[in-house]
Structure 1
Amino acid sequence: MKNFIGTYECKIDDKGRLKLPSSLIKQMEDFDNKTFVIKRSVFQPCLEVYPMNVWEKLMGKINKLNRFIKKNADFIRMFTAGVKTVETDNAGRLQISKDLTNFAHLQKDIVITSAGELFEIWDKTAYEQVISTNEEDFASLAEDVMGSAFDEE
């Protein structure tokens, strides 16, 4: 399994074109398909960008949900709302649609950050607020999430 690595500061123009850093473009080339899926994040005001093969694996799980259960149908609708396919253009830019730009409150200054097998696109101010937790809070979160994660191996 391949993972993205790094955090990058970049700019988005008035037309929604985001110039990607060359080191991120190089990482994107490691994925078999050059098409990516961009969507709203479930928990934060940011965008998630999935390589197509990762997206298809995730949708395979979602498609197993029984759509005759209302909460499943509602989840699928909300999860896939605004989903778009994107490719980098010849200038190394991603075109982000207006609805997704508005959802993530993207202004001029952007942060792209790795999140395992996908990466996130944030407005810089929002990203800095989210990661500005104090060390004690992060230590507690790390213990809660990862404290017993390795017991199963």
Structure 2
Amino acid sequence: MIQLIGEFECKLDTKGRMVVPAALKRQLPEAEREGLVVNRGFEKNLVIYTREEWNKKMQQLAKLNQYNLKNRNFVRQFMRGATELALDAAGRVLLPKGLLEYAGIEGEVVLACQFDKIEVWSKPVYDQLMGEDMGEDFAALAEEVMGGFDFGGMDNE
């Protein structure tokens, strides 16, 4: 599993192309050869996966019982708009118009790396989402999410 890190601000050109930042491109050595896949995120954002990580997601989805209506609906929604991306000679990817419209992305974009994927956000939406001062709320969230987590013998305070 790859471990992508970083947060990058980019701009789309008038055709919907985005230059992949050099620092991010270095973390994606196989992307030029194998390509990337973009699809809808769970919020109004997009998600980019390496081909390897996308294939893992597909293997997981293939194990779902296709006779179950909820499973079929989830697969449809998850796969909706999924598109292969290829880096051009200038290191750009063309983001599909329909996906850009879904995420409300125009012009400025934030790429937020999370483990094995890259979330793609409209910069104003991301700034609003992350600009909310969580203060003590973030500490409470950290305690709720991570407080009872077993860190393999480490002292859990």
Q: Same fold (TM over 0.5)?
A: yes
Letter in 2 for 1:136: E
Distance 1:32 1:104 in 2: 25
Q: Say yes or no: does 1:99 pair with 2:60.
A: no
Give secondary structure in 1 for the equivalent of 2:150: helix
Amino acid aligned to 1:140: A
Aligned to 1:124: 123
Normalised TM-score (structure 1): 0.92
2:143 corresponds to? 143
- Distance in 2, matches of 1:33 and 1:146, equals 38
TM-score normalised by length of structure 2: 0.89
Counterpart in the other structure of 2:87: 88
Q: Quick one: distance in 1 between partners of 2:78 and 2:31?
A: 23
Tell me the amino acid that sits aligned with residue 77 of structure 2. M
Spell out the pairing of 1:2-13 with structure 2 (5 A cutoff). Answer: 2-13=2-13
* Aligned-CA RMSD value: 1.7
CA contact (8 A) 1:33 1:52 kept: no
Ranges in structure 2 where 5+ consecutive residues have no aligned partner: none
CA distance in 2, matches of 1:62, 1:22: 32
What is the letter of the counterpart of residue 7 of structure 2?
Answer: T
Secondary structure of 2:67 counterpart: coil
The structure with the largest alpha-carbon Rg is 2
CA shift at 1:33, angstroms? 5.3
Task: Check whether the contact 1:28–1:34 (CA below 8 A) recurs between aligned residues.
Answer: no
**Identity in percent:** 34
Counterparts in 2 of 1:63 and 1:125: CA distance versus 1, 3 Å: same
Matches within 5 A, 1:18-97: 18-29=18-29, 34-42=34-42, 44-97=43-96
Tell me by how many angstroms 1:31 deviates: 6.2
